[in-house]
Amino acid sequence: MISVNGLKKKFKLTKDHKKGIAEAQQDPREEKDYFHSVRDVHFHCEQGEVLGLLGPNGAGKTTTLRMLSTALKPDEGSIEVGGVDLVKKPLAGRKAIGFLSGSTGLYGRLTAKENVEYFAKLHGMKGAELKQRCDELFTLLDMHSFLDKRADNLSTGMKQKTNIARAVVHRPKVVILDEPTTGLDIMTTQTVINFIKSLKEQGTPVVFSTHHLDEVALLCDRVSVIDQGLTCFDGTLDAFKQQGRSEELNQAFMNILEEHRHV
């Protein structure tokens, strides 16, 4: 399982940004010389659960996910996977988490297969174990038709499948996906959705951010909503509908945001 508690992260404002603040409506997270991107974020995801991380653009989701990946160190708070605090032990975090973001890149001169195998070797995999795991992922993600193509020549969907295989090749304890279906066609989107379902069936907790609430309805057991750097909802999908006063997820989401901003 993954448990996130009291995450906070601020960034020092530049002179240009301060000048822009004077000319525009101030964000409540801007305070003196700092922008408090994440002010208090918390959620948890148990074995075999999928959690949808929601929020408007600029809410602090990406900063939160970068802290979960250990790319950023929180100013405060804890991130625990299986009882291990990844803030205190970031190396353990990189082994325990499979992370995919929109900025994750592939080595363009390597083939799809070589990219996945390279990252498997970085995690210490070799021999029969490496081959078996890669073959399993290539089948699950329907990758066999383009395994020998260089990454530079892959379509957007092919690259995303390769990125996902790269992120989970080491059998992580938790998988974190940042908008994994953005820009994909219907067929590739369905492959990614089926793969998330397979992770769930294996008991692997999955946290994924998305703006597509139909994916939340299809996949998620839990929902966490971040707004202006704060967790304004964290609970089951049914509780999300109840607090949002709507069975329609888009409307429930809007109602929760409106309620939070008028507290």
CA–CA distance, 74 with 63 (Å, rounded to integer): 9
Place of tokens 């802290």: 67
What is the structure's pLDDT at 72? 94
**Segments forming the whole domain that contains residue 17:** 2-261
Strands 97-100 and 76-81: unpaired
3-state class (DSSP) for residue 91: helix
At 184, give phi and psi (nearest 5°).
-95, 155
What is the structure's pLDDT at 183? 86
CATH code for position 156: 3.40.50.300
Q: What is the pTM of this model?
A: 0.90
From first to last of the 263 residues of the chain, give the pLDDT tens digit. 999 999 999 999 886 665 555 555 567 788 878 999 999 999 999 999 999 999 999 999 999 999 999 999 999 999 999 889 999 999 888 889 999 987 668 999 999 999 999 999 999 999 999 999 999 999 999 999 999 999 999 999 999 999 999 999 999 999 999 999 988 999 999 999 999 999 999 999 999 999 999 999 999 999 999 999 999 999 999 999 999 999 999 999 999 999 998 86
Could you give the number of structural domains in the chain? Answer: 1
What is the structure's pLDDT at 243? 97
What is the structure's pLDDT at 18? 56
Asked whether 74 and 9 are in contact (CB, 8 A), the reply is: yes
Asked whether 92 and 174 are in contact (CB, 8 A), the reply is: no
CA–CA distance, 5 with 171 (Å, rounded to integer): 25
What is the structure's pLDDT at 82? 87
What is the structure's pLDDT at 29? 85
Q: Cα 221 to chain center, whole Å?
A: 16
What is the structure's pLDDT at 24? 53
Q: Which of 243, 255, 257, 192 is nearest to 218 (CA)?
A: 192
